[in-house]
């Protein structure tokens, strides 16, 4: 039977991170996939539960989590109810969070111990996952899903002087209509860690098997990002999925009980890669 266990861990600056682990109770020691969501994302978004169950039905455990400063709270896991935390987020904070999650998975304290993990990162979470894979041998394989190739690609370069002057910039969430603040400490983090937080430089260092998947109909992160990633590390397996958008057909909220066809295609490709 497929089950889902829920956990809460202290993330960066002590802020809580919600975690869930989906698994088949007949295969409690199955290989573990960790999923890292993107900017303005969260673990319970849209199709993510169905995604987890699909991987479990194909022989894996699936862990997804909320980054500590993603703007959701334990009381409101699907709403951006804590914009103060969102404003304080940085790339280094997310890397610290992901390290905590991998520690949790590999310690065996709360779930059967994972002897290394597989990592899937979507969009901005793909960039975080690329850096972490370059740094951490516990990650055995990486799948980047519509990943960015640079954090400064998330905004127009010309807004940075005003962002620094005001100390904050607002990113519109088109789904909710919220104006979501991000402090200029994010820019400081990038400036203070130019090598570590350079996705392409870190991509070139990856020695683990890596699958780069990007949709050719992605309106959010152009497919050129994945081309740059592949150029940085030609050893990675590179697939451009036809007619797939940024979320591979996923929506939030999602009312169906079957994954959209582009997501099934993504899953089958990733499962084949991870199962080799």
- Residue 118 structure tokens: 């597989």
Q: Is 90 left (phi over 0), alpha (psi -120 to 50) or beta?
A: beta
Q: Where are the domains of the chain?
A: 2-155+194-275
pLDDT at 112: 96
Average pLDDT value for the chain:
97
pLDDT less than 70: residues of the chain: none
**Fold type of domain 2-155+194-275:** Rossmann fold (3.40.50)
* CB contact burial 40-79 (16+ within 10 A = b; e otherwise): bbbbbbbbbbbbbbbbbebebbbbbbbbbbbbbbeeeeee
pLDDT at 15: 98
Whole-number Å distance between alpha carbons of 114 and 32: 6
pTM attached to this predicted model: 0.98
pLDDT at 186: 98
- Residue 80 structure tokens: 């951006």
pLDDT at 32: 98
Chain segment 129-143, per-residue pLDDT in tens: 999 999 999 999 999
pLDDT at 118: 98
Whole-number Å distance between alpha carbons of 103 and 87: 26
Whole-number Å distance between alpha carbons of 90 and 197: 11
Whole-number Å distance between alpha carbons of 117 and 55: 14
pLDDT at 121: 98
pLDDT at 87: 98
Rg (alpha carbons) of the chain, rounded to whole number = 18
pLDDT at 110: 96
């Amino acid at each position: 039977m497929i089950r889902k266990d829920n956990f809460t861990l202290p993330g960066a600056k002590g802020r809580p991170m919600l975690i869930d682990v989906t698994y088949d109770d007949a295969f409690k020691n199955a290989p573990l996939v960790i999923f890292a969501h993107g900017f303005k994302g969260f673990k319970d978004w849209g199709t993510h539960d169905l995604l987890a169950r699909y991987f479990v039905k194909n022989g894996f455990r699936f862990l997804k989590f909320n980054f500590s400063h993603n703007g959701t709270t334990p009381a409101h896991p699907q709403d951006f109810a804590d914009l103060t935390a969102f404003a304080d987020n940085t790339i280094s904070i997310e890397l610290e969070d992901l390290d905590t999650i991998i520690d949790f998975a590999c310690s065996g304290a709360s779930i059967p111990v994972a002897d290394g993990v597989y990592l899937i990162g979507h969009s901005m979470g793909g960039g975080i996952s690329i850096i972490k894979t370059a740094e951490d041998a516990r990650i055995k394989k990486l799948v980047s899903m519509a990943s960015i190739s640079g954090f400064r690609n998330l905004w127009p370069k010309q807004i940075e002087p005003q962002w620094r002057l005001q100390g904050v910039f607002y990113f519109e969430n088109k789904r909710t209509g919220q104006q979501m603040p991000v402090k200029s400490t994010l820019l400081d983090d990038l400036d203070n860690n130019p090598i570590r937080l350079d996705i392409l430089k870190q991509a070139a260092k990856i020695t683990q098997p890596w699958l780069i998947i990007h949709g050719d109909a992605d309106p959010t992160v152009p497919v050129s990002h994945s081309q740059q990633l592949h150029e940085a590390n030609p050893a990675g397996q590179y697939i451009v999925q036809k007619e797939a958008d940024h979320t591979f057909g996923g929506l939030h909220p999602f009312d169906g009980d079957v994954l959209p066809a582009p997501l099934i295609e993504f899953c089958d490709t990733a499962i084949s890669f991870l199962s080799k």
